[in-house]
Amino acid sequence: MHRRLSSSPLTTIASRHHYHTSQSVKPTKKPNRHEPTTTHKVTRKPWEEVPFLTDLKQTEETEEALSLFHQYQQMGFRHDYPSYSSLIYKLAKSRDFDAVDQILNLVRHRNVRCRESLFMGLIQHYGKANSVDKAVDVFNKMTSFDCVRTIQSLNTLINVLVDNNELEKARTFVDGAKEMGLRPNSVSFNVLIKGFLEKCDWEGAREVFDKMLEREVQPTVVTYNSLIGFLCRNNDVGKAKSLLEDMMVKRIRPNHVTFGLLMRGLCCKGEYSEARKLMFDMEYRGCKPGLVNYGVLMSDLGKRGKIDEAKALLGEMKKRRIKPDVVIYNILVNHLCSEGRASEAYRTLMEMEMKGCKPNAATYRMMVDGFCRIGDYDSALSILNAMLASRHSPTPATFVCLVGGLIRGGTWTMLALCWR
C-alpha cells in the first residue's frame, strides 16, 4: 500500500490555485498506474503556478507520487510536459523504472513533445543503476517521442557506457554517429580516451586519438592533459614532452594543469631542478604558474625533508600575488607534522586563518596527529575541540591515539571532556 497523502490535492487545487470544476467531486477508487480516464480539462495559464509540481516536490514515495498524478488528472487538471518530466525524474531517481516505462507509454500515447534533457537524465539514471541496455534503449527510442537527438545525448550515452566499462560499445556509437546524422565532437573522443586510459590501455587510447585526428576533430587541452597525465604517471616523461610540442604545433595552448602534470612526472623521477625550470618555461610560453604548480614543487620538497625550501616557495607565491589555498597550506602542515615540527605547523595553521583561509578536516586531523606524535596531548586535545567546533570529525585512529595518550598522561578530566 502507498502512504497516505499528507494533504488532499483536491483541496489544494480548489483553495490555493482555483483549479476546480463547477460540479462536486465524489471519492474515487485508488488510481492505478495505467492511463487514467479524464472528465474535465483545465488549461493552465502560462503565468500561473502549477499546484501539481508544488505538491510533487513534497512527496517521498513513488506510489504517493503516482497517486498524486492520477488524482490531479481526475480533478480535470491537464498535465503537460513539466508534469510528465518532473514525475519521470522522481521515479527514475527512486529507480522505479517500471513506473517510468508506464509514464513514458502515456507520454507517447498523448503525443506530448519531450525535450532532449529528459532522456539525457534518464540515460544517466540508468547508468547509475548499471542498466546499460536500458540506457541504450532510451537513446534509440528518443526519436519516437518526437525528440531530436543531438551530440549532447550521444555524449551522455558514451559517458554512461564508459563509466560501466562498456568501452567497445561506446566506441561503436562514436563510429556509427554519422549514420545517426550526428558528428562526434572533442567531448565524444575525450570521454572514450579517458575510459581506455583508466584501464591502462595506452594503445586503445592512442587509436581513439588517431581516429579523432582522422575525422578532423580538433583535440583540446583536455585531450592532451589526459594523455600527458597517463604518460607521466607511467614514468614516460619524454613521450609526454613530445605531446607538449605537438600541442604547440597544433596551436593548442597548454594550461597550468598541463605543466603541473609534467612537473609531477619529473619530480617522480627525481628531477626536481628540471621541474623547477619547467615553471619558467611555462611563463615563457605565456602560461602563468598557478597553485597546482607550486603544490607539486612543495610536495616534492616536503617528501625529501626540505621543509624550509618548501616554505620559501610559499613566500614566492605571495610575491607573485598568488593566494595560497587550503591545499597548499595542508602540504606544509602535513610535512611539518611528519618531521615532528608540530609547533611550526600550528603557526602555519594560525597564519592561514589570519589570511582568511579556513582549515578543513584534513588540516585538523594532521595537526592532532602531529601533536600526538610528539606526545603533546593537551595541544592535540585543544585542536580536537577546535575541530569539533568547526563541525569536522576525527578519524577513529586519531581518536584512539589521542585517548591513549591522555590515559597514559593521567589527564582524566581532559579525557572526560573529549569523550563528550
Q: Considering the domain boundaries, does residue 263 fall inside one?
A: no
Span 337-357, average pLDDT? 94
pLDDT tens-place string over residues 163-202: 999 999 999 999 999 999 999 999 999 999 999 999 999 9
Q: What does the pLDDT read at residue 49?
A: 61
In a domain? residue 384: yes
pLDDT category of residue 411 using cuts at 50, 70 and 90: low
Residue 284 pLDDT class (50, 70, 90 cuts): confident
Cell of 323: 593566494
Which pLDDT score is estimated for 363? 95
Segment 257-286 mean pLDDT: 93
Residue 220 has pLDDT above 90, yes or no: yes
The confidence score (pLDDT) of residue 341 equals 95
Structure letter (DSSP) for residue 2:
P
* Final residue belonging to a domain, choices 86, 112, 138: 112
pLDDT tens-place string over residues 241-257: 999 999 999 999 999 99
**Which of 26-35, 174-183, 341-350, 351-360 is predicted least confidently?**
26-35
The total number of structural domains that make up the chain: 2
Q: What are phi and psi of 215, to 5 degrees?
A: -85, 5
What is the mean pLDDT of the segment spanning 377-401? 86
| Region 11-37 average pLDDT | 37
More reliable by pLDDT, 304 or 5: 304
Residue 270 counted as domain residue: no
Residue 12 lies in a domain: yes
pLDDT-derived band at 35, boundaries 50, 70, 90:
very low
Q: What does the alpha-carbon distance between residue 238 and residue 317 come to, in Å, rounded to a whole number?
A: 29
pLDDT digits (tens, 9 = 90+) for 98-148: 989 998 998 888 888 889 999 999 999 999 999 999 999 999 999 988 899
Last residue of a domain, one of 112, 140, 170: 112
Residue 209 belongs to a domain: no
* Model confidence at 290: pLDDT above 50: yes
Whether 396 is in a domain gets the answer yes
pLDDT at 410: 56
Number of DSSP helices (H) and strands (E) in the chain, helices first:
23, 0
Under the banding of pLDDT at 50, 70 and 90, the label for residue 14 is: very low
Q: Which of 68-72, 88-92, 140-144, 219-223: highest mean pLDDT? A: 219-223
Structural domain of residue 52, as residue ranges? 1-21+40-112
Contact 266, 274 (CB under 8 A): yes
Q: What's the chain's average pLDDT?
A: 84
pLDDT at 374 over 70: yes
Percentage, residues of the chain above pLDDT 70? 85
pLDDT bracket for residue 222 (50, 70, 90): very high
Domain assignment present for 49: yes
Q: Is the pLDDT of residue 6 over 50?
A: no
Exposed / middle / buried, residue 30 (Cβ in 10 Å: 0-12, 13-18, 19+) = exposed
The torsion angles phi and psi of 166, rounded to 5 degrees, stand at -105, 65
Write down the residue that cell numbers 519531450 correspond to: 114
The helix or strand, by DSSP H or E, that contains position 303, with its residue range, turns out to be helix 291-303
CA distance 163 to 195: 7
Residue 27 has pLDDT above 70, yes or no: no
Answer yes or no: is 9 within a domain: yes
Phi and psi at 21, nearest 5°, equal -110, 170
pLDDT of residue 296: 97
Stretch 410-416: mean pLDDT:
51
Apex CA 194: angle with CA 188 and CA 200, to 5°?
145
The pLDDT of residue 409 is: 61
Q: Give the end of a domain, one of 64, 94, 112.
A: 112
